[in-house]
Each structure stands twice: as C-alpha cells, then as structure tokens.
Amino acid sequence: MQKEVEVSGKKKGKYRQSLVVVGLVMIAGLLLDLIGFTPIKMPAFPFNLYWGLGFINLMLISYLAFRNHRWLVWLSSVPASVAAIIFYTFLILSMGFIPQEGNADGMIGAFRLDQVISSWSFFLLQLFFLITLGMVTLKRSIPFKWKNWGFILNHLGLWLIIFAAALGSGDFKRLKMAIPEGESENVAVAENNQAYRMPFSIGLQDFMIREYPPKLALINLKERKIISTVMINASNPDNSYQLLDWKVNITPSIMHHTTGLVQDTNGEEKSKFLVIASQNGQQHTGNLTPGAGAEANLMQLSNQRALTILPPEPQEFISEITLSQHELQKEALVKVNHPVKFAGWNIYQFSYDQAAGKHSKYTVLELIRDPWLPVIYFALGMMTIGAIYLGWMANQEKSKHHGVE
Amino acid sequence: MGWNNFGLFITGSLISWLIGVTMPLFSEKLKQKDTKIILFTALGIIVLLVFIIQLWINLDRPPLRTLGETRLWYSFFLPLIGLVIFIRWRLHWLLTYSLAMSLLFLLINLLKPETHDQTLMPALQSFWFIPHVLVYIFAYAILAASALVATHSLFVHKFQKQSIKNLDKADQLVYLGFAFLSLGLIFGALWAKEAWGHYWTWDPKETWALLTWLFYLLYIHLRYHRPQKLKLHSWVLGLSFAVLLICWFGVNYLATGANSVHTYGAN
C-alpha cells in the first residue's frame, strides 16, 4: 500500500514537471509572436529534405548515445506525451473557436491565435510533439520485437504524417488557371497573385454541366414549401407520375431520349410541358417550363396546392481538355472528385462562369503539386492497419502488462 | 426487377434478424446461442446482397448514384461490420443497433420511394462517401456508449457514494471507437485529396474532428499510464464526448464554421 502511494506520488510529480516544461515551450512560442519574430517558413526542396534528414539523424544519434540520460527517458515517457497532447490540443481548440483569417485585434492577433498554423507556438509545439512521439517510437522499436508491431504502425505512422506534411508544405503548390473555350493556356496564378509558367499547356475544348432530369414538385402554397417531388423520367412509358394524392400526366414537346433533357425544336433545352393533374376525378390542365423561376411558373391546383417544375440540378461539372508537354499530348476529362494527373501535377475542376451556368465559355482549373504525397499515403496506410489492430485488440494488451512503463 | 420486390427482400432480412437478436430469449447454451445469432444475421445480410446484385444488373451500372442507393449500401454494410465486431467482442447491443439502423435506412427507402430520385451533388459523388459515413456511424455510436459508461460511473460515485470500480468496459469501447474515428479521419483525408486538392486544409469540421480524436487520444494515454485515477478519467471521457458532439452538430453554429466546406445544402 505504502509503495503504491509512493509510485502514485512519483507519477504525479512527473506530470507536474511535464506540464511545466511543455507549458514553457508554448509560452516561448507565444512570446516570440508577441515580439513579432517573423514566422518560420518551410524551405523548398532540397533544403526541406536536408532539414528533415538532419532532424532524423539528430533524433537517432541522441537516442542511441544517450538513451539512459534522464532527459531522454523523460522525453519518451507517457507524462511528456500527455503534456504534448494537452498543449497541442489547447492550441487547436483555439483554432476551433477563433476564425483563422489573420485579422483579429488585441491579444488574439498579437499571439497569432487567428493564424495558428503560421504561429511560433504551433511550430514549437509541433516540433516538441515530433520529438517526444519520435522518442517513444524509437524506444519501442529498438530492439525490435514483433509484439510491438501495432504500436509502431500507429506511432510511426502518425509521426511520419506530421513530419512529411510539415516538410511537404515547403513544396506544396496550389495554382489556378482560367482557360477560355477553344484556347490554350500555360500560365497559372498562385493565391498571392504570383504568376507561374507551367511546364505544360492546357487547351479547353469544352466546358459542360451535365444536369439531372428536372423534377416535378407539388407545393403547399400557404407554407410556401415543397411537399413532394418526383424526377421526370424520359423512359416513363405513359408520362404519368404520382405526387401524394395527385396523379400528374405530363407531355413534353420533345424529350431527348438519351439524356432525358427536354428540348424544343430550336434545340433550346427549355420547353413547355403540357400538364394534366387530377385528384378525385377533378382535372386541371396547364403548362409548365423547367428552369424558369418558380414564381412565374406555378400551376395552381387548389387554394393550397400548386405544381411546378424545379430547375434541374447539376450532376457533373466537366472540362474537356488537352494536355500538352513538348511532343506529348493527352486528352482528358476533369470532373469534380475526379482530378487528372499530368507531369507531376494534379488537375482539378475548380470553377466556371457561374452567371452563365452551363453556357459558361471558360473553366477554372486548380493545379496542385505535392511531391511528398506518396510518403503521406504510405503513413496513412500504416495508420489504417494500426487502427484495425487497435479495434481488434482493444484494451486486451493493456490489461496484460498493466502499469508497466 | 429493380426496386420492384424491395419490400419482399426487406421482410426476408427483417425476419432473419428478428430471429437472430431474439435468440437469447430461447436458447439456453451461450455458445450455441451466439452461433445462431451469427448465422441468422449473416442470412439477412445475404438476402440484401442478392437484392443489390440484381439491382446492379438491372440498372446496368453500380447503384451508387442517388441518395436511395447510397442508403442501400449503408443498410448492407452496417450489419456486416456489426457482425464482425460481434464475432470479435460479443457486443449484443451494438449488433442490435447496427441491425436497427440498417432497417431504418431500408424503411426510409421503402416508404419514401421518391428518394430514389434524390440526386447527389457532384462533391458527394465519390468512392469515399459511403466508407467515410459508415465508419463515423460506428465511431459515434460506440463512443456514445463509452460516454454512458463514464456518466454512469460518475453518477454512482456522486449519488450512491460508491467508488468507481473500474473503467475496463469503457476502455474497450474507446479503443474500438477510436479505431473507427481514426479510419474516419483517414478516409476523409483521402477523399479531401480527390475533391479539394489537399488531404488536410484545416476546414472547421476537420479541425473539430481532429480535436475529437486528440481528446480520445489523451484518454487512452491517461488510462495507460495511471489506470487508478478513475474519477478524473471518467470526466475526461465525458468531456471527449462533448467535443465529439460539437464536431457532429455544433460546428455550423460556431463563428469558425461559417466557411466550412462541410456545410452542405445551406443555399
């Protein structure tokens, strides 16, 4: 009993010590920002790689040479990890509550809590996090034991993500490129308006918005609410639909039989539907046009009910492009959620002329380069396996060597 | 056939699952009982699988395009994951929960057939949509259960003046829930790379998801090191769930949430 109290007291002291040390790290960071030290910026390749290799070497050498020194013992202890998690969480909590727009006044602005990511406190705490997480990982990895594989996957995976994301931020590029239809472009612009000449050019053949077929909607006039909808289906044999207790029959002028879109003889996709609605033998007849404003386009059925056709919703935003670099040419479709890879860049559908909608005469693509991505994916893979291990083992392992640390 | 005999298939799954979950009432021997639960749950899942396969053939495309079709996949994977966890951990309540959630999604599809037409906006049309949502459904349910254990411990401690005996059950749930939480973050990161160009952009929802993860990470490390501090740890566990709730419901109401890309359907 006496011994237990003693152990408990020792652990308590260790926690206090850890919280004080890591707290000081954070205060140092806050003070650096208060004084107005220029925030640290990750250099680009190859210097970020040198920094990274230097950091790994330093960690390895210190661990191998001084693993029994009390500082290193402390750095790889649970109290140091807990303190690191607490202060790191504290900083991210401030990000959770304070909008990160970098325009706050007073203390928040002075301590850069309105742009935590580029603050000294974030940098120092993240560095401390990496050091203690790294030391813990080394302690469990050298000498290697198979029973530690789950632990190593989780801890090394997390370490690698933070490490590669930090170094990679020096090489990460996010540029925008606007291309008019029928033209070709090789200059892209960064967020700070700096222009970059790309090592390839992109020609835009066509920008398209594929739409879902329009929907027929029943409206409650009193509450101005849509109470039931049904999609107009080109392959519906008798053009008949049920909306609650209304049976609605609609006949389009010409229905495009593959896309389901409605076209009139000019090819303009805005045609009138002839609508016959009936309920309990009562019949109403009228016209409706998809895409027109709902106000102007209501077919009143009773005091409380009306029919309308809602504007079609977008299904896909597509840029049909040709990528060319020297002799190399590649045709591609860029869609939301489906970027195209070319010459080390990822190309994303970003925007278009929203006022013109589907008739937009240009597209805006986002060009992203992140050469460290394979490392991140590798680390995410480690953590995925680690997570499954964690769920499968749960606290079984812990209860086996309870309290050993 | 398509959706035509959907009701019939649901009834098939419903009956086998009902037999499965009520098995404890009829069977005496524990081991036999669990085997039967597993068999009947699996049978219900196979019925759903047959329906999905015929729908796929009938539509001549993967049924992944509408909200109704998305729900169908939830209904299939919920009991499947619930079953795997049951085989490992024998959590009867979680299996029942996953079956009930699955039936709920199936029923919505059955009673509101118009949702088969409900379209998915381009940003949601991704391979990652279903796994991302599924793992969070499990993470939140399991962590909610762990929060109940913590609250119960604190309640007993406060009002019945008993000391908290242990948090083993809560620990087990947190490890399991934390695993799903990690998978949710990882799948979210992979999806974000496809959709928004970067795996991590400090979007408010991401920030709060990370905070939730960090709070449970803290709990796990505290438990590991000083397992006897039961009262403190119960509080940490309760607090972690509060953070989870902010992440789930609260982000849209925070000053930081105004420009979150996770705020769908606002306009």
On chain A, the residues whose CB falls within 8 A of the CB of B171 are 394-395, 398
**pLDDT at B60 (0 to 100):** 78
Determine the pLDDT at residue A272. 67
Chain B interface disruption, residue of A1, A216, A241, A336, most B CBs within 10 A: A336
Q: Residue-wise over A102-126: b if at least 16 C-beta within 10 A, else e?
A: eebeeeeeebbbbbbeebbbbbbbb
- Residues with Cβ < 8 Å from B56, sequence gap 6 or more? B62, B63
Residue pair A358/A211 in contact (Cβ under 8 Å)? The answer is yes
Pairing of strands A345-352, A362-369: antiparallel
Interface test with A, best of B127, B128, B149, B221 (most A CBs within 10 A): B221
Taking CB atoms and an 8 Å limit, are B175 and A395 in contact across chains?
Answer: yes
pLDDT given for residue B144 in this prediction: 93
With CA atoms as reference, the chain A residue closest to B195 would be: A337
Q: Which residues, 6 or more positions from A372, have their beta carbon under 8 angstroms from its beta carbon?
A: A164, A165, A167, A168, A171, A172
Judge: A405–B189 Cβ closer than 8 Å, yes or no: no
CB A79 to CB B225 under 8 A?
yes
Q: What is the largest CA-CA distance in chain A?
A: 94
Contact yes or no for B232/B196 (Cβ under 8 A): no
Give A97's contacts in chain B (Cβ within 8 Å).
254-256
Whole-number pLDDT of residue A283 = 86
Angstrom distance (rounded) from CA A28 to CA A37: 12
Q: Is A280 left (phi over 0), alpha (psi -120 to 50) or beta?
A: left
Element (H, E) at A266: none
Report chain A residues whose CB lies below 8 A from the CB of B194.
337-339
Under an 8 A CB cutoff, do A78 and B221 touch? Answer: yes
Pairing of strands A195-211, A362-369: unpaired
Contact B88 A392 (CB under 8 A): yes
| Helix B129-159, helix B92-111: angle, nearest 10 | 130
Note the pLDDT tens digit of each residue in A216-268. 888 888 888 888 888 777 666 677 888 888 888 887 655 544 444 554 444 44
- The amino acid that residue B52 corresponds to is I
Q: Do B114 and A79 touch (CB under 8 A)?
A: no
Asked if residue A213 has a cis previous peptide bond (ω within 30° of 0), the answer is: no
Tokens of A170: 């020096």
**pTM for the complete prediction?**
0.88
Output the pLDDT for position A402. Answer: 45
Kindly determine whether residue B224 and residue A398, on different chains, have CB atoms separated by under 8 Å.
Answer: yes
Question: What ipTM was estimated for this complex?
Answer: 0.88
pLDDT tens, position by position, for chain B (267 residues)? 678 789 999 999 999 999 988 877 776 666 678 888 999 999 999 999 999 999 888 877 778 777 788 889 999 999 999 999 999 988 888 999 999 999 999 998 888 776 666 677 888 888 898 899 899 989 999 999 999 988 888 888 888 877 777 888 899 999 999 999 999 999 999 999 999 999 999 999 999 999 999 999 999 999 998 888 899 999 999 999 999 999 988 887 887 776 676 655 433
- Reduce the DSSP state of residue B190 to 3 states and report it: helix
Query: How close A328 gets to chain B, by Cα (Å)?
Result: 24
Write out chain A's pLDDT in tens, 405 residues.
Answer: 455 555 666 777 889 999 999 999 999 999 999 998 888 889 999 999 999 999 999 999 999 999 999 999 999 999 999 999 999 999 999 999 999 988 888 889 899 999 999 999 999 999 999 999 999 999 999 889 999 999 999 999 999 999 999 999 999 999 999 999 999 999 999 999 999 999 999 999 999 998 887 888 888 888 888 888 887 776 666 778 888 888 888 876 555 444 445 544 444 455 567 788 888 888 888 878 766 554 557 888 888 888 888 877 888 899 999 999 999 999 999 999 999 999 999 999 999 998 888 889 999 999 999 999 999 999 999 999 999 999 999 888 665 544 433
* Best CA proximity match to B242, nearest among A391, A387, A96: A96
Q: What is the per-residue pLDDT for A230?
A: 80
